[in-house]
Structure 1
Amino acid sequence: MHDQLRDLGRQIVQQEDQKNPEKRSRIWNCKEILGAIETEQMKKEVVALDLDLRKSYSDFVIKSEEIGRFKSLKYLKLNGEPSWNVVVLQFSNNDFIDDSKLQSFVKMARKLKVLSLKGCDKITRTPDFFECPNLESLDVDRCSNLREIDGSIGKLSCLIGIKIVYCPCLEFLPEDIGDLVKLEHFTIQRCDGVKRLPESIWKLKSLREVHFSTGWDSYLANS
């Protein structure tokens, strides 16, 4: 009975647009999903993707910006371990990404070097950075509900730059930032809740530039 209901539901969805899968609300056929992912236009109708990469498409590379084009996406299921050789993960003005989904993406992208989050209002905390030990750049901009920078950030021995801009709910920065041995550029701007920088920044021997501001007042220090 379950299979019959599933097949009936799929028949109904398929009638939404038989020629253009990216204009349906749901896509489950692997070939159709990959075809929709590779097209550059925005997909506003798709709310669910069920992708099985365990068989013929185990070496397929999925890029974060390709997933980001599904503006209405609420459900994403990836079966198998995709060859997600992503070094740059960027989400802009995306209502799909929340804390758990972001953690899942980061976990798959073990080679990640750049993480950029802009206008992602469902993000309340950064991911556990143990999942991305090669990260070199963290850029968080206009994430209005961000409240916490995970303390594991101190374990990022490759991190060179941090930029956090206009995150009004963020109130403090972890002292673990002082353990970032390669950090050169550190920017905190218009995060009104952050009243001071962590004392541990004086331990940062590689630090070359600091930008710190609350509201419109700014502080700039160059080594």
Structure 2
Amino acid sequence: MLSRSLDGAHRSLGAALLVLSAVFLIGLLIGTAAGVIGGVVDMLLMRVVDIAMTLPGLVLAFAVLGILGPGFVNLLIALIIADWAWYARLARSLALGARSKPHVTAAKLAGISQWRIVLGHIFPGVALQLGVVASLALGGMIGAISGFSFLGLGVQPPHAEWGALLADSRLYFALAPWLLIVPAGFIFLSVLSANLVGNALRDVAGQETIA
């Protein structure tokens, strides 16, 4: 069980990091573009975001999985589709706020080109703040992937994944409780560690913003 739990770690943790990286990049590019360009582009992109956010994330993920069918790759696609819009809207808000920052105003008065201001002054700040938010969501993403796999919608046998191991072990808890405790312990420690790291990054980012 320990060996299978260690083997499943790269699927549980790797999948969570992959999904968050994808929604971070998609949200960052779309949200920053909408906030910086504005006008018709902003309106069109935000209408797409509004459509994507009409359903709660988990409901949308279940709907996508219902269309694509269970499977590890399909689960990743479903979670990306369910979460990207929220990051795009947040990135847009951050980009709009960054446009009125003093250093951005000073760069405009100095005659620096629009693209240099976006790439050098707006984009890095938005990416930093959005990355902190994504790091805080890592624990929840690990739990979501394990939950879907527990329901049989994620990793399929014979591959190991913490949620799938919990599902396979629940019938034998009275006879062999360690079969359930080991993967549950990995999930608990991973979520706890992710939350602690996310909080530390938030504090560091806050100090840098103040500085």
Q: Give the TM-score category using the shorter length.
A: under 0.3
- Structure with higher strand content: 1
- Structure with higher helix content: 2
Q: What is the TM-score with the length of structure 2 in the denominator?
A: 0.25
Q: What is the TM-score with the length of structure 1 in the denominator?
A: 0.24
Q: RCO (CA 8 Å, sep 6+): is it higher in 1 or 2?
A: 2
